[in-house]
Amino acid sequence: MKLLVDLGNSRVKWACMEGGRFTASGAFEHLGLGPQALASEVGRIPGCPHEVRLSSVADSGLSAALRKALAGRFGCPLRVAATARSAGRLLNGYHDHRQLGVDRWLALRAAQAEWPERPCIVIDAGTAVTLDALAASGQHLGGLILPGLRLVNTLLAERAAALSGLATAGLPEVAGTWWARDTASACASGPLLALVALIERCVAELAHGERRDQVQLVLTGGDAGQLAQLLPPATALRPQLVLSGLALDMPGLPDA
């Protein structure tokens, strides 16, 4: 059994994989956790893996604390994923491949493995929103980063006195209605619809005048479910996309 762990900006996500499929999974918030509390959360992860794989976009201190907790809990080889210039047909589009976050790289790997002959837009809607364009050839064309939906609403509430205390609710109260009719819904739907418009523009750019329905939208992240409601039905919702990429063969993956 392999244990796959993704240390993100605000959550730790994990999944156990055996026989090519996920057998258990979970997540917990890590913001504000000290080493002992982090070790306690890791202690709740079940199983006896023969290998642990970790991807991390967190600071070095938190990453080191998580590695220590995982080593203490499982006592098996722990390998840390890193972004590469290429992986099979997948080619990193960044000028300096190391600047592309490892979570985005793994998400691209998973998308390219599932749709090897289709252009894709890979969207991770979490604390930050990332969008990455992937050509049918496997060439990563680059991407975009913007604040996440919850972060935008939090900043609005913090900076505008008239909006302070408003709940960062999800979709507008009246589903399917473009114009919100109360302030909380307006604050929630504005960034959401702006993101939908950006995704539609990204699809148009990637399609280059060809059929837009050939572009596969792949969605992951904490706000993916909310966003999916406003995207085409063929949009693929993949909550474990980064972990799926982490599970793929990675020759030379370094030990921690």
3, two tokens: 């244990």
Quickly count: other Cβ atoms within 10 Å of residue 80's Cβ: 18
Q: Kindly state the average pLDDT of the residues 237-242.
A: 96
- The answer to whether the CB of 5 falls within 8 A of the CB of 12 is yes
Per-residue pLDDT at 183: 77
Q: What is the pLDDT of residues 110-126, one digit of tens each?
A: 999 999 999 999 999 99
pLDDT, mean of residues 203-212: 85
Q: What is the pLDDT of residue 173?
A: 44
Across 39-62, b (16+ Cβ under 10 Å) vs e yields bebbeebeeebeebbbbbbbeeeb
Q: Which amino acid is at 50?
A: H
Tell me how far apart the alpha carbons of residues 178 and 35 are, in angstroms, rounded to a whole number.
46
Neighbouring C-beta atoms of residue 239, cutoff 10 Å: 17
pLDDT score recorded for residue 168 = 46
Residue of 34 and 134 predicted with greater confidence: 134
Instruction: Enumerate the active-site residues.
Output: 103
Q: What is the pLDDT of residue 12?
A: 96
Condensed to tens digits (0 to 9), the pLDDT of residues 185-205 reads: 787 788 899 999 999 999 999
- Mind listing the pLDDT tens digit for each residue in 222-231? 999 989 999 9
Per-residue pLDDT band at 251 (split at 50, 70, 90): low
Phi-psi region of 109 (alpha: psi -120 to 50; beta: other; left: phi over 0): alpha
Percent of residues, the chain, with pLDDT higher than 90: 71
| Predicted confidence (pLDDT) per residue in 36-93, tens digit | 999 999 999 998 999 999 999 999 999 999 999 999 999 999 999 999 999 999 999 9
Distance, in Å, from the CA atom of 62 to the CA atom of 162, rounded to the nearest integer, reads 36
In order of start, what are the domains of the chain with their CATH numbers?
Answer: 2-80 (3.30.420.40), 116-241 (3.30.420.40)
* DSSP H helices in the chain: 35-42, 60-74, 102-114, 149-159, 183-207, 224-228, 241-247
Residue range 164-181: mean pLDDT, rounded: 56
206 pLDDT higher than 80: yes
d(CA 74, CA 53): 12
38, 32 contact by CB (below 8 A): no
Q: Looking at per-residue confidence, does 256 or 2 come out higher?
A: 2
* The pLDDT value given to residue 167: 47
- Side-chain-side CA neighbours of residue 97 (13 Å): 14
Residue 178 exposure: Cα atoms within 13 Å on the Cβ side: 3
Per-residue pLDDT, 224 = 94
**pLDDT, the chain, mean:** 89
Q: Write down the pLDDT at residue 174.
A: 38
Confidence class of residue 163 from pLDDT cuts 50, 70 and 90? low
By mean pLDDT, which of 96-100, 173-177, 185-189, 249-253 is the weakest? Answer: 173-177
Q: Looking at per-residue confidence, does 166 or 43 come out higher? A: 43
